[in-house]
Every structure is written in C-alpha cells, then in structure tokens.
Amino acid sequence: MTNWYSQHFCEHPFQKNGFAALNSQFAWGGMENQTLTSICPNCWSEWLIAHEYAHQWFGDMITCDTWADIWLNEGFATWSENFWWEKTGGYSAYKNEINYDASSYLSSNPGWAISVPSWATTTPGVNTLFNYAITYAKGACVLHMLRYTLGDSLFFATMRSYSNDTNLRFHSARIADFSEKVNMITGDNYDWFFAQWIFAPNHPVYANQYCFENLGSGNWDVRFLIRQTQSNAPFFTMPVIVKINFQDNTDTLIRVMNTHNYEEFVFTFKKQATSFTFDPDNEIVLKRATLTQGVFYTKTWTGALSDDWNVNENWSPTGVPASESVKIPAGLIRMPVVRNHGMSCGSMLIESGASLSVSAGVDLSISGTVIRQ
C-alpha cells in the first residue's frame, strides 16, 4: 500500500507509520494522526486501513485550510481507498467501489454542495460537515470524474504535482490550490469543473434523445440530442462518450464535449446503425439519465407570421439555430422569413399548414433532410 500510494502521489511523507486499535470509548472508525493512526476496536478491515492510511498524504501531510476545504481530506481519502482496490483487483474493482459511492450519494443526497464558502468562518454541524453522502461518497466520485475528464496521464500528473508542492507539503491547502494545479498541469482552464461539482449542489438529470436517419445511397446519420432537466442545479458541462453499434456487428465509441443544454450532435456513417448507448461505462457516475429513440427537433419556431428567422426570441429554446434541427409547427401564424445571409440548420420538419419563406437573394443552408408533413 505504501508503494502504491507513493508511486501515484509522492513518497510516504513521514519517517514511520503505525496503527493503534483503541477501546470502545473511541466513537469514530479511524482518526488520521500523523505517523500513528487510531482505529476503532477490531476495525482492521482493508478498506478502512486504505482510507486512513491515505490520510497520511491527504489530511496529515497536506490538510484542509478551512472546513470549506474538507474535500481535500475526506474526498481524497475516500477516492484513495477505492483506488487501492485497483491495485489489488484491477480497474473494474476500483470502478465497482466508485459506483457504490455514487449509489450512496444518489440515494441519500441532502442537497448541499461539497464546499460552502461560509464554512470557512462558520463551522457547520458535524452531521453536515461529515455527511457521508456529500463529503465522502460524492467527494470520491468527483475525483473519479476529474480522472475521466482529464485522462490518467494528466490526472496523476496533477496528483503528483499537488503532493510534491513544497508550498503545500506540511502546510494547509485550499481547494483553489488544487484546482490551480489542474489548470497548470493541463495548460487549460478547468474552473468550470470545480464550479459545478464542488461549489454547486446536486447533479445532472439527462433526458437525451437519438435517432437514425437514412440519407440514401448507403449513408446514415446518427443524431443525438443532449438535454439536462434539473431545476436544482446549474448546467453541467462534461465530456460525453456514446457507443454506436452497426448492422455489420461492428461498433464505435465517440467522445464529445457537451458545453450547453439542448446540444445536438450529428455523426455520419456509410453503414446502418442499430443501437445507441449514452455513457456506456457510466463514467459520469453522479447523474440520472434517460435515453429515448425517435425523431426530434432541437429548436421550434415560436415567432409570428413573417417574423425574422434571425431573432433569438423567435425560437424555443431561445437562440437562432446554427446546426440544430428545427421544427416549423402548424398554424397560420407559424411562418418564419429568412432575410439575412448565413442562416443554417440541421434537419427541418415543416408541419402541415406551416410554411417557410426565403427572401430573394438570401440563402438558408440545411445540412440534414427536409420533411414536409
């Protein structure tokens, strides 16, 4: 265990280490004292030892600066506990533990964030601060999703850089210190990740849709709409993996970056797709999700008769379409007029009784198919 943690974090930070089982007056599972961890009577389970020992790095060598930074202690130790199973049983064993933590969170989520700024000055109650669903289970899952987002190479480079930083070793740290490490190692800005997973409550609720579209001549489109419906949390930006199976018994994995709600992706193939799976390995472990098959249209025209296509408020959801598929619903008051150059969309459905007018000399680029009911 020492070698495993040292390999992925830094060398064991103290000259010695030990464990002492206490009597029944000790009310906790364990307490991460430097060099000598206390555990409850007869509490020699491997998972508890892995958790408490990880605290020698995250909690003892580097500890949270305020209670608002408790994730750096307990979230990291819980993730490390799961990571130990990767050493003994492979990635699937690690992932099973992460999935268990995700289930614990999803079934018991009390609805607050991992880090609340006011905790830095006003200590919350013990049942809030050490709430298992948030501080431990969600905390570990967020580190897993950071690993998924960055990839192993950048993730473990970040963990090593954080653990070896002489400004942090044997000092206290804030979550911002860790997020700055992520940005430095990746050369990119991942503040959005921490804003949504650490400083905001709850999780995404996906209601996704997909369809297969025959373009003729053996060509097929697979259209995919990502939609989040949660009302108690912000939109969650995340990389998303989908799996597509084909009639010839082949399959492919595609990773896209979902940056906004109602985002539509179109993949074109020279063979027919037969099935579609969202997040096939459940890497976005903190989520609820449904996936339905059927023709869909991302944006619907809501303007009045002869209103301008190029006006955000004339579409639902708000915003002029670019590559999204659109629907012009039935009714005499449902006729958009394209007056400007550079207008575009994906596929288009024009319902019976509706119409579309394109001014002379103006073009509308439609990348998909047009269906007239």
Task: Identify any residues that bridge with 290 across adjacent strands, giving them in sequence order.
Answer: 207
pLDDT value at 345 more than 90: no
pLDDT value at 372 more than 80: no
Give one DSSP letter per residue of 36-73, joined into a string. Answer: EEEE-TT---HHHHHHHHHTTTBTTTEEESSGGGTIII
Choose between 30 and 81: higher pLDDT: 81
Exposure class string for 95-111: b at 16+ Cβ within 10 A, else e = bebbeebbebbbeebee
State the residue for tokens 């020279």: 270
> What whole-number distance in Å separates Cα of residue 354 and Cα of residue 352?
6
Instruction: Judge contact between 327 and 299, C-beta under 8 A.
Output: yes
Of 276, 269, 260, nearest to 211 (Cα)? 276
135-149 pLDDT, tens digit each: 999 999 999 999 999
Please give the distance of CA 257 from its chain centroid, rounded to a whole number: 10
pLDDT value at 373 more than 70: no
Output the average pLDDT for the chain: 93
40-67 pLDDT, tens digit each: 778 888 888 999 999 999 999 999 999 9
Q: How confident is the model at residue 351 (pLDDT cuts 50, 70, 90)?
A: confident
pLDDT value at 29 more than 70: yes
pLDDT value at 350 more than 90: no
CA-CA-CA-CA torsion sign (40, 45, 50, 53):
positive
State the residue for tokens 């030990």: 18
pLDDT at residue 57 in the model: 96
Task: Identify any residues that bridge with 206 across adjacent strands, giving them in sequence order.
Answer: 228, 289
Q: Which amino acid is at 54?
A: A
Domain segments of the chain: what residues?
2-197, 205-293, 299-372
Choose between 364 and 174: higher pLDDT: 174
What is the average pLDDT across 289-299? 90
User: CATH assignment of 205-293, given 1.10.3470, 2.60.120, 2.60.40, 3.30.410?
Assistant: 2.60.40
Q: How confident is the model at residue 188 (pLDDT cuts 50, 70, 90)?
A: very high
State the residue for tokens 């289930």: 103
**Topology (CATH) of 2-197:** Neutral Protease; domain 2 (1.10.390)
Give one DSSP letter per residue of 304-343, joined into a string. Answer: -TTEETT-GGGEESSS--SSS-EEE-SSTT--EEE-STTE
Q: What is the largest CA-CA distance in the chain?
A: 87
Composition of the chain by helix, strand, coil, percent to 5:
30, 25, 40
Least confident interval from 247-251, 252-256, 316-320: 316-320
Q: How confident is the model at residue 30 (pLDDT cuts 50, 70, 90)?
A: confident
Percent of the chain with pLDDT over 90: 71
Q: How confident is the model at residue 332 (pLDDT cuts 50, 70, 90)?
A: low
Q: Other C-beta atoms within 10 Å of 45: how many? A: 11
Q: Which amino acid is at 114?
A: I
CA-CA-CA-CA torsion sign (7, 12, 13, 15):
negative
pLDDT value at 268 more than 90: yes
151 three-class SS: coil
Q: Other C-beta atoms within 10 Å of 232: how many? A: 11
Of 242, 173, 178, nearest to 206 (Cα)? 242
102-119 pLDDT, tens digit each: 999 999 999 999 999 999
142 three-class SS: helix
pLDDT value at 304 more than 70: yes
Choose between 213 and 208: higher pLDDT: 208
- Tokens standing for residue 234: 């912000």
Q: How confident is the model at residue 210 (pLDDT cuts 50, 70, 90)?
A: very high
251 three-class SS: strand
What is the average pLDDT across 57-84? 97
